A and B are shown apart, each in its own frame.
Chain A
């Protein structure tokens, strides 16, 4: 079974936020609006975090795109009382929206703050509402449940179905999350970490590669290539 992971090259990312926008369109995350966003209610499965130090002209900036880390030892699934969040055999950490009771223990347990909660029923401005992704896997979630980045698992399913329909074996390169596909700077890579010949496997062993908060033992599967 493949073990899906992501590599993000911080030298190539210039924080255009296309990944964040593409993620929203692909996964039907609700729009919070400026007031609710200011109140901390925005749902952004992928977020670009600005780590900025210093004052002009001596500014050091690291713009860090942050999807879900899809940890191999996730802190979130340990604490879920009903197994509404779980890790599948391919290493993806997913959520069963029908089972989630909205206790939000997973959201406080995650040390990367990648999990979001639907504080109210989902809304979109009229213009966006016409362009929701019709895939049932990403049907809008109701109020009261948790959601987060799934590495676009619906695309995995579609890729497998397409391969089967075309009578050929599924290849890891058939599956690509929206953020990786959209990235303007070609900074994001995705693939099977267990395949020694895959790009992500090779990049994850690069001397520039690091992961966030590795000391916590969560074994995140999103690698960053150090800037500079």
Chain B
């Protein structure tokens, strides 16, 4: 039987031809990536001294990027796995675009770690001599498993659409791409039983991935939380990082969706109601994040412990005050106002707020990491450390973002960014429990307005 998606032609259109705009964009992004590579090779030769890191600020921009990119990755899993488990069928058009964020941000999280290592040539020591008492091993396991599972989850949910592209675009695409789809489709023939099994596996994996999301970012936070440093050694750090990741990830999804909608003319598949649903989620997460911040700083400052207060005061009124309050304004102040007063039915405002949230969240990661190191326990009476990131770290950061954008852009030209099979009007005809739920509400694409 055939799944019918009335938007199929629209969704497949981007795969047929590359525009000059694409070539320019890819060259530009590729150039930035190359700059990053050059900066990295220079760092390998000259040593990490080319960065601004020192004693006591042993971790800086690279680790900030690590935490930030892993956090971004949570967007995909949140939309595709957690919302799936929660039975939110409106998520269907977004899932692949969101999962692609996950897929392409994780490698750069890992790249950030590699960039930060003193002896990257010895990375395999972790496998030969790994000690599970170290939070870094928990990190390695969790992020590794998460990446592997995200790739597989994305691939499985892509399978029916690869087969569709293989069949529909025959003759319209170069031979090598046709071959690629044929191989990747793994002989998928669209039998109802295949669809049923696929849905079952995706349901199961969604539950697993949800658990992984919680584990991964908690474990990332424990790299800081398991030390004795003020500002880091707090039980709240796990939930703190987790909620932050989900917040920045969901905001990233809004940005990406708005871009795709504009660039590929996907207004029919990505209607306004999607943005309104995301708006409600973002309000919830922003408020949740505000709660975490209040709990953290109220507890710390009320306790008035010397080494804690040094770090807190540094953030509130010291050398990091501008960054801290700037972050607060960018992450909640303005976005909350925008969401409540202007965000409904306005993609432009939603994107503005989401961009602010992500810039703010990058700053937030920096603020968690650096001020604590600048006021180490033993030295608080002496002098504070100083950290000034160098151009090497800036260039590498930019190249990470460029790399992620490049991979994403290329992906959208090779695979349909909206799941054609999951948004088909007659999905329920396959008698899949998930689809039946859809049939009992409304067809997956048209969503009840807010």
Contacts and interface: CB of A to CB of B under 8 A. Distances in A.
Nearest to A114: B378
Interface in A30-51: 36, 39-42, 49-51
Given A105-B134, A143-B47, A144-B47, A111 B377 contact: yes
Nearest to B381: A51
Interface in B111-156: 116-120, 122-123, 125-126, 128-131, 133-137, 140
A119 B48 contact: yes
Interface in A87-113: 99-105, 107-109, 111-113
A104 B54 CA distance: 11
B291 interface: no
A81 B136 contact: yes
B419 interface: no
A75 to B, nearest CB: 6
A25 B54 CA distance: 23
Interface residues of B, number: 44
B294 interface: no
B9 interface: no
A109 B58 CA distance: 10
* Candidate in B49, B126, B377, B379 with the most chain A CB atoms within 10 angstroms: B49
Contacts of A212: 378
Contact of B126 (A39, A41, A101): A101
A81 B137 contact: yes
Contacts of B53: 119
B229 interface: yes
Contact of B135 (A50, A75, A79, A104): A79
B54 to A, nearest CB: 3
A59 interface: no
A34 B182 CA distance: 63
A126 interface: no
Interface residues of A, number: 43
Contact of A101 (B47, B117, B133): B117
B382 A105 contact: no
A99 B125 contact: yes
Contact of B119 (A108, A121, A145): A145
B47 A75 contact: no
Given A108-B59, A108-B229, A103 B117 contact: yes
A216 interface: yes
Interface string B200-219: 00000000000000000000
B292 interface: no
Given A104-B118, A119-B54, A111 B229 contact: yes
B271 interface: no
B385 interface: yes
A170 interface: no
27 contacts: A40-B55, A40-B57, A42-B55, A49-B382, A81-B140, A82-B122, A82-B130, A82-B131, A83-B129, A99-B122, A99-B125, A101-B126, A102-B119, A105-B135, A108-B227, A111-B377, A111-B378, A113-B378, A116-B55, A117-B58, A117-B118, A119-B54, A120-B48, A143-B47, A143-B118, A144-B117, A144-B119
**Which are the 9 A-B pairs with shortest beta-carbon distances?**
A102-B118, A40-B54, A144-B118, A120-B47, A119-B49, A120-B49, A143-B47, A81-B136, A82-B129
Interface of B: 46-49, 53-59, 116-120, 122-123, 125-126, 128-131, 133-137, 140, 223, 226-229, 373, 376-379, 381-382, 385-386
Given A101-B125, A117-B118, A119-B49, 16 more contacts: A40-B385, A75-B227, A79-B136, A80-B134, A81-B125, A81-B126, A81-B131, A82-B125, A99-B129, A102-B119, A118-B118, A119-B47, A120-B48, A121-B47, A143-B48, A213-B378
